[in-house]
Amino acid sequence: MKLLAVIPSRNTIRSEWTKLRSVRSTWILVASAVFSGVALSVLGMSDLLGVPASQVPPGWDPTAGSLKGFLFAQLVIGMLGAFSVTPEYASGLIGSSLAVVPARSRLLVAKTLVVAAIAFVTSLLTTVISFTVVQVSVKGAGLPAAGLGQPGVFGALVGATLYLTFVALIGVAVGVLTRSSTGSLAVLVGALLLVPALAPGLPGAVGDAFGRYWPITAGQAAYTVVPVEGAVSPGSGLVILLVAAVVVTVVGHAAFRARDV
């Protein structure tokens, strides 16, 4: 019975879909995620395109290398998740939404499902286009390129798509917790960019733990084919990120149910 209490109706899901698709910022964020992911991936590989094949660094991973643009695309798709919530608080429309759907759990689950669907398609486009464009460029430069038939490549692309989708779900929870677009951006910048960049520099076991097990850092292993020393396995990294997304979602759900509008 408790499970049925959180399952949204088809009308609730349709309503949330209508809200998101009718807001211009949704499609701006979708386009920005795809464009930035592809453009920055190409830019990130440009320094290797003029290098002879004999001088390619050992352990070079053309699959992971083709997804360097995720560094920024993840922030955009995280904000896509947050923007499914925060504008309603800014405008006061959250009160109207709760008047129509008083069951808060159902409303939040409906929002999350709609964001998950949009984020999955956006993530898939970003992954496939980035991979294809970069591999064509790499192959044209005479460098070793990755192909779908090679071991681990297809799984890495699936992992990459799920990685960005999970980040979007974290964005929804962050939006619920902060109830502010600016606050969500600050939290996501810290979690997605600052902690992975700075925390591993902490001394001793603390730095090692952040460098290996911070959910974002661990999740990035999901789209690697060549093993990285000191990193978790692709499957473990994706599971760590999924667990983090579930935990943050549960916390956001509890806050959404307990707080006033």
Q: What is the pLDDT of residue 131?
A: 95
Of the candidates 1, 4, 26, the residue with the CA atom closest to the CA atom of residue 16: 26
Q: Residue 190: what residue type?
A: G
| Cα–Cα distance, 5 to 212 (Å, whole number) | 38
DSSP conformational letter for 97: H
pLDDT of residue 133: 94
Which of these, 224, 229, 252, 209, lies nearest to 163 by C-alpha position?
A: 224
Residue 1's pLDDT is 41
Distances (CA, A) of 191 to 59, 78, 128, 184: 28, 11, 25, 10
**Look-up: residue for tokens 């996501």?**
188
What is the reported pLDDT for 102? 81
How far apart are alpha carbons 7 and 211 in whole angstroms? 37
Please answer whether residues 132 and 146 qualify as being in contact, where contact means their C-beta atoms are separated by less than 8 angstroms: no
Decide: 105 and 6 in contact? Cβ < 8 Å. Answer: yes
Please give the angle made by the CA atoms of 174, 178 and 179, to the nearest 5 degrees. Answer: 105
pTM of the predicted model, to two decimals? 0.93
List phi, psi (to 5°) of 230.
85, -5
Name the one residue in this structure whose structure tokens are 């192909």. Answer: 147
Q: Residue 228's pLDDT is what? A: 86
- CA distance linking residue 77 with residue 157, whole number of Å: 17
For position 217, what pLDDT does the model report? Answer: 94
CB count in 10 Å sphere of residue 6: 15
- Distance of alpha carbon 245 from alpha carbon 251, whole angstroms: 10
Report the pLDDT value the prediction gives residue 5, as an integer from 0 to 100.
61
Task: List the chain pLDDT tens, one digit each, 261 residues.
Answer: 455 567 888 888 998 999 899 889 999 999 999 999 999 999 988 877 777 776 777 778 899 999 999 999 999 999 999 999 999 988 888 888 888 888 888 999 999 999 999 999 999 999 999 999 999 998 888 888 888 889 999 999 999 999 999 999 999 999 999 999 999 999 999 999 999 999 888 888 888 888 899 999 999 999 999 988 888 999 999 999 999 999 999 999 999 988 866
HEC per residue, 142-167: CCCCCCCCCCCHHHHHHHHHHHHHHH
Phi, psi of 159 (to 5 degrees): -60, -40
CA angle 164, 169, 173 (to 5 degrees): 140
